[in-house]
């Protein structure tokens, strides 16, 4: 089937923990609701991991391989953003949320 070979960029709301992407470029968004702690893994590809909408949770985000953008900017300081291999951008509330492999750190 022709479509099977096309690398599609997928935006997906996580529906479980852990929430795991594909080897392609994924946009993975945390589950709905405050106080819901997520664990999100981008795997390969240029991923965007977002846990910025809901607060009062402990979200752990891992970009894994590829150049990723990992955001735990949600108003609390309980999360952890890890880029892994590749040049990754981590967007955080506070320096204590910096995990491994964040080449560019944005603190807001
Ligand atoms: Ca969450
Ligand atoms: Ca990475
Ligand atoms: Ca946070």
Ligand in nearest proximity to the CA of 37: 1
Ligand in nearest proximity to the CA of 58: 1
Range of the domain at 66: 2-107
pLDDT of residue 2: 52
Q: What distance in Å separates the CA atoms of residue 18 and residue 49, rounded to the nearest whole number? A: 13
Ligand in nearest proximity to the CA of 28: 1
Ligand 3 centroid vs 65 CA: distance in angstroms? 22
Count of the separate structural domains present in the chain: 1
Average pLDDT of the segment spanning 48-75: 98
pLDDT digits (tens, 9 = 90+) for 2-60: 555 455 667 999 999 999 999 999 999 999 999 999 999 999 999 999 999 999 999 99
pLDDT of residue 108: 86
Ligand 2 centroid vs 1 CA: distance in angstroms? 30
């Amino acid at each position: 089937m022709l479509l099977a070979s096309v690398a599609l960029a997928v935006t997906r709301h996580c529906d479980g923990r852990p929430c795991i992407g594909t080897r392609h470029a994924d946009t993975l968004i945390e589950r709905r609701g405050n106080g819901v702690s997520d664990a999100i893994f981008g795997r390969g590809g240029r991923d965007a991991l977002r846990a910025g909408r809901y607060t009062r949770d402990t979200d752990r985000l891992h970009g894994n391989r590829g150049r990723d953008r990992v955001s735990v900017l949600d108003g609390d300081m309980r999360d952890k953003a890890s880029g892994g291999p590749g040049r990754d951008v981590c967007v955080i509330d506070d320096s204590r949320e910096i995990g491994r492999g964040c080449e560019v750190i944005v603190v807001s």
